[in-house]
């Protein structure tokens, strides 16, 4: 058990280093070897299979948010884990998102555990009194679960609720909204030879169009190696060292656009 925890600590240290570089520089591919070799004992450029799953919310949503009726609000949450975690949002006890678990995705089988940092946004474009509640960011990886709460308070809620007819008359229902990516992986590590899926879930009205840009700044097209799936995920088969780099998911509609980046880091499997 101690060995598993030690491995997780090492992976977390490496992953934190990777994520910091992703945030501040797109030149991570030039620096990665130095960062790995600078870390404590052992070659952290290798990956050992683990039977113990792990997840931790590394950036919880803010504990309390106050928004008046009619305003826009977003709750943000990030988690790290192995196998790559998924994040669901709950309003009280009711689940309100359907982010698919990496390991439950039937498109890819016989995958290695992998290790990823994932992020999610809960977007409410027009706050109503009914939105006042406790919201939970729930991260799951294998059998492990972590959760954090955020309370949305609507100070002017009293007497401001609208029924369905009023929502239509006020043009709140069906209104056009700026597209936003709601679930993605800022960084993803897996063993060379593994099949991986990079997520990019989004919301927006009209429904956003989506494209992926590869580390060479070229648009990804579906072929034997890559496939852009219907829900926005990017499938990459049998990753190699040449696949390392930043993959950008871009979404657009008539209102605007949004984009997120995923740094993919292929690793050698440990021979131990």
Number of domains in the chain: 1
Angle at 28 between CA 22 and CA 33, to 5 degrees: 130
Angle at 50 between CA 48 and CA 54, to 5 degrees: 120
pLDDT in tens, 133-143: 999 999 999 88
Q: Is the CB of residue 187 less than 8 Å from the CB of residue 265?
A: yes
The answer to whether residue 113 scores a pLDDT higher than 90 is: no
Angle at 153 between CA 118 and CA 63, to 5 degrees: 40
* CATH for 228: 2.60.40.10
The answer to whether residue 73 scores a pLDDT higher than 70 is: yes
Domain of 67 in residue numbering reads as: 2-269
pLDDT bucket at 197, cuts 50 / 70 / 90: very high
Report strand pairing: 245-252 vs 257-269: antiparallel
Residue-averaged pLDDT of the chain: 80
Q: Rounded to an integer, what distance in angstroms lies between the CA atom of residue 262 and that of residue 15?
A: 13
Q: Rounded to an integer, what distance in angstroms lies between the CA atom of residue 114 and that of residue 190?
A: 4
């Amino acid at each position: 058990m101690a060995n598993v925890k030690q491995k997780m600590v090492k992976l977390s240290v490496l992953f934190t280093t990777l994520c910091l570089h992703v945030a501040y520089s797109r030149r991570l591919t030039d620096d990665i070897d130095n960062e790995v070799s600078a870390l404590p004992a052992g070659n952290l450029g290798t990956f050992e299979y683990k039977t113990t799953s792990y997840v931790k919310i590394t950036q919880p949503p803010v504990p309390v948010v106050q928004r008046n009726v009619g305003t826009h609000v977003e709750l943000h949450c990030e988690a790290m884990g192995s196998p790559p975690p998924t994040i669901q949002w709950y309003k009280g006890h009711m689940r309100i998102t359907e982010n698919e678990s990496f390991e439950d995705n039937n498109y890819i089988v016989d995958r290695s555990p992998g290790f990823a940092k994932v992020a999610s946004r809960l977007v409410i474009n027009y706050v109503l009194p009914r939105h006042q509640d406790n919201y939970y960011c729930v991260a799951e990886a294998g059998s492990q679960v972590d959760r954090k709460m955020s309370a949305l308070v609507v100070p002017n809620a009293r007497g401001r609720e609208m029924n369905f007819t009023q929502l239509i008359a006020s043009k709140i229902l069906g209104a056009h909204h700026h597209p936003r990516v709601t679930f993605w992986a800022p960084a993803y590590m897996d063993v060379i030879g593994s099949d991986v899926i990079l997520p990019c879930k989004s919301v927006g009205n009209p429904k956003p169009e989506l494209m992926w840009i590869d580390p060479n700044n070229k648009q990804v097209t579906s072929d034997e190696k890559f496939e852009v799936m219907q829900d926005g995920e990017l499938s990459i088969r049998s990753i190699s060292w040449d696949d390392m780099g930043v993959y950008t998911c871009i979404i657009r509609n008539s209102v605007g656009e949004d984009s997120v980046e995923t740094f993919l880091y292929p690793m050698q499997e440990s021979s131990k």
